[in-house]
Structure 1
């Protein structure tokens, strides 16, 4: 399933970047804006299953297809856990390696501020230690070790502020829903540059 997702994602990226080059050559220069940006972000995450939380680190490449529509590619890593003080063990420890493609639309844009909404498809490889015996995995004492891959969808709202000459900074609220495993709610900050 991951190989199919990866192939479809690369094909979609190739087609969209080809369309971008055609639209850029037809329109000339985008209206007073650099068409691409690269951003690094850190987010606080809440995993609704088993009430665990942690941090997600990600990098995003964004490119405008026109005045307001854009595409993005992202990769990241999430680490979350829940510590049970009564048992004095971690009842959940999760590590996710994530990636995906997104489409977005700028609702508001001016020289210093952009506010956008978007969504896309996402995939992850998750490695978890869990005390829930119903999950599929290798049982080791009282915990279950889970290693699997999931696919899903994402939706987000974010803003960018222009800082310095070619810099951007802002915030993002994102919800990631997967076919299996815990969905993720992430609230974070990012910084980067335009080109």
Structure 2
């Protein structure tokens, strides 16, 4: 009886160590490809509600949790406007300070190229100058709007690896918020893995 307990305990230890070793090998494969990425990018944005266009600058840090799943933090600044040729003024001027937490999954993962889809929560502080009759006043004076909104974002992005740890690519994203205009953005980024 005592001998069967020792054999059972030895087999249990063997299976525990074997499963831990398999987990460690999987983790090593996932993290040996530089699990952290930092990129800076610029995007052309279109704000559908006000029919205005502009630029968004963003910085993103992401960390791989496994071989294909990553989480990240994205911070950005957006500026957009619409020029009214009839009134010869900017009828809309937007400045947004934006941030969000993102989760992404790599659909294609090769040595030189990655393609991923992602979603996440988003928040922004917006400062707008608006001369529309609905937001401003009928006589054409402007309304100053300063508020914060929350929402979500979805994106598809691609990374091309170059040199030892360089990354360059493109990103298409859509941000929807509870108040204010949604944002559609197409842009490029460059950064590094570490």
Q: What's the TM-score bracket when you normalise by the shorter of the two chains?
A: 0.7 to 0.9
What root-mean-square deviation, in Å, do the aligned CA atoms of Structure 1 and Structure 2 show? Answer: 2.2
Structure with larger Rg = 2
Aligned-pair CA distance for 1:28: 3.1
Task: Determine if contact 2:71/2:101 at 8 Å carries over to the other structure.
Answer: yes
Query: C-alpha distance in 1, partners of 2:160/2:102?
Result: 20
Alpha-carbon displacement from aligned partner over 1:106-148 (angstroms, at most 9, x marks no partner) = 000010000000000000000000012433x899961110000
Task: Determine if contact 1:24/1:30 at 8 Å carries over to the other structure.
Answer: no
SS in 2 for 1:50: coil
Query: C-alpha distance in 2, partners of 1:139/1:174?
Result: 35
1:115 paired with 2:96, answer: no
Query: C-alpha distance in 2, partners of 1:147/1:140?
Result: 21
Task: Determine if contact 1:40/1:59 at 8 Å carries over to the other structure.
Answer: yes
Query: C-alpha distance in 2, partners of 1:147/1:190?
Result: 29
Alpha-carbon displacement from aligned partner over 1:15-63 (angstroms, at most 9, x marks no partner) = xxxxxxxx98982352641100000000000000121000000000010
Q: TM-score, normalised by structure 1?
A: 0.83
Query: C-alpha distance in 1, partners of 2:50/2:24?
Result: 47
Unaligned 5+ segments in structure 1 are 1-22
1:174 paired with 2:177, answer: no
**Aligned match of 2:47:** 47
**Aligned match of 1:13:** none
Pairs within 5 Å for 1:43-192: 43-135=43-135, 142-192=141-191
Q: TM-score, normalised by structure 2?
A: 0.83
Distance 1:106 1:26, change over 3 A: closer
SS in 2 for 1:28: helix
Alignment length (residue pairs): 172
Task: Determine if contact 2:31/2:66 at 8 Å carries over to the other structure.
Answer: no
Aligned-pair CA distance for 1:188: 0.2
SS in 2 for 1:30: helix
Task: Determine if contact 2:113/2:158 at 8 Å carries over to the other structure.
Answer: yes
